[in-house]
Chains A and B, each alone.
Chain A
Amino acid sequence: MKDELNYILARTVAGKQSRRAFLGRAGALGLSAAMANSMLASAVQAAGPVKGGTLIMGLGGGESTNSLDPALAASQVPFHLLRTTGETLVDTTASGELDFRAAEAVESTPDAKTWMFKIRKGIEFHNGKTLTPDDVLMTLQRHADQNSQSGAYGIMQGIESMKVDGDYVAVTLATANADLPYLMSDYHLQMQPGGGMENPADGIGAGCYKVVVDEPGVRHVFEKHANYWDSSRGHYDSVEFVVINDPTARMAALQSGQIHIANRVEPKVAQMLATVPGIQVKNVSGRGHYVFIMHCNTAPFDNKDLRLALKYAIDRQEMVEKILQGYGSVGNDIPINAAYPLFDETLEQRAFDLEKAAFHYKASGHDGSPIVLRTSEVAFPGAVDAAALFQQTAAKAGIPLEIKREPGDGYWSDVWNAQPFCASYWGGRPVQDQMYSTAYLSTADWNDTRFSSAEFDSLLLAARGELDLAKRKGMYGQMARILQDEGGLICPMFNDWIEGVSDKVQGWVADGVQEVMNGLAPQKTWLA
Chain B
Amino acid sequence: MRMPLSAAIGLFLTALYFLAAIFADLIAPYGMAEVVGDVWEPISAEHWLGTDSIGRDLLTRMIYGGQTTILIATVATLLSFTTGSILGFTAAVAGGWVDQALSRFVDLMMSIPSLIFALVVLSVMPVSLPVIILVMGLLDATRVFRLSRAVALDITVMDYVEAARLRGEGRGWIIFREILPNALSPLVAEMGLRFIFMVLFISTLSFLGLGVQPPMADWGGIVKENKDGIVWGVPAALVPAVAIATLAISVNLVADWILNRTASLKGGRGG
Contact = CB atoms under 8 A, between A and B. Distances in A.
Q: Do chains A and B touch in the complex (CB under 8 A)?
A: yes
B39 A268 contact: yes
A403 B209 contact: no
Contacts of B22: none
Interface of A: 247-248, 251-252, 255, 266, 268-269, 272, 322-323, 325, 375-377, 382, 384-385, 387-389, 391-392, 403-410
B119 A385 contact: no
Nearest to B123: A410
A268 B229 contact: yes
Contact of A255 (B39, B210, B211, B231): B231
B213 A405 contact: yes
B231 A251 contact: yes
A267 to B, nearest CB: 10
B228 A247 contact: yes
Given A268-B229, A269-B228, A391-B33, A385 B54 contact: yes
Nearest to A415: B209
A272 B233 CA distance: 10
B54 A405 contact: no
B232 A272 contact: yes
Contact of A248 (B208, B209, B228): B228
B213 A403 contact: yes
B148 to A, nearest CB: 33
Contacts of B54: 322-323, 382, 385, 388-389
A389 B215 CA distance: 10
A323 B225 CA distance: 12
Interface string B205-238: 0111111011100000000010111111000000
Given A322-B39, A389-B54, A408 B33 contact: no
A21 to B, nearest CB: 35
B55 interface: yes
A266 B209 contact: no
Interface string B171-212: 000000000000000000000000000000000001111110
B53 interface: yes
Contact of A385 (B53, B207, B229): B53
A181 B82 CA distance: 68
B34 A392 contact: yes
B210 A407 contact: yes
Contact of B214 (A325, A387, A409): A387
Nearest to A251: B231
B122 interface: yes
Given A255-B231, A405-B206, A407-B208, A389 B214 contact: no
A407 B119 contact: yes
Q: 9 shortest A-B CB distances, which residue pairs?
A: A407-B209, A272-B232, A385-B54, A388-B215, A407-B208, A268-B228, A322-B54, A403-B214, A406-B209
A383 to B, nearest CB: 10
Nearest to A395: B33
Contacts of B206: 405
Nearest to A249: B231
A403 B215 CA distance: 8
Contacts of B35: 322, 389, 392
A269 B208 CA distance: 25
Interface of B: 33-35, 39-40, 53-55, 119, 122-123, 206-211, 213-215, 225, 227-232
23 contacts: A248-B228, A248-B231, A251-B231, A252-B231, A255-B231, A268-B39, A268-B228, A269-B232, A323-B54, A325-B39, A385-B54, A385-B225, A388-B214, A389-B35, A392-B34, A392-B35, A405-B206, A405-B209, A405-B211, A405-B213, A407-B122, A408-B208, A408-B209
A228 to B, nearest CB: 38
B230 A405 contact: no
Q: Which among B122, B211, B231 has the greatest number of chain A C-beta atoms within 10 A?
A: B231
A311 B39 CA distance: 24
A409 B227 contact: no
Nearest to A252: B231
Contacts of A247: 228
Q: Which among B207, B213, B215, B225 has the greatest number of chain A C-beta atoms within 10 A?
A: B215
B231 A409 contact: no
A387 B54 CA distance: 11
B230 A248 contact: yes
Nearest to A414: B123
A196 B208 CA distance: 38
A419 to B, nearest CB: 13
Contacts of B34: 392
A410 B122 CA distance: 11
Nearest to A388: B215
Contacts of B40: 268
B252 to A, nearest CB: 29
A268 B40 CA distance: 9
Contacts of B33: 388, 391-392
B144 to A, nearest CB: 27
A390 to B, nearest CB: 11
A255 B230 CA distance: 14
A376 B208 CA distance: 9
Contacts of B209: 376, 405-409
Contacts of B123: 410
Contacts of A410: 119, 123
B208 A409 contact: yes
Nearest to B210: A407
Contacts of B225: 385
A19 B145 CA distance: 70
A405 B214 contact: yes
A393 to B, nearest CB: 9
A371 B55 CA distance: 24
Nearest to A315: B35
A388 B34 CA distance: 9
A384 B207 contact: no
A513 to B, nearest CB: 27
A142 to B, nearest CB: 35
B177 to A, nearest CB: 46
Contacts of A382: 54
Given A322-B55, A404-B213, A405-B213, A377 B207 contact: yes
A409 B204 CA distance: 13
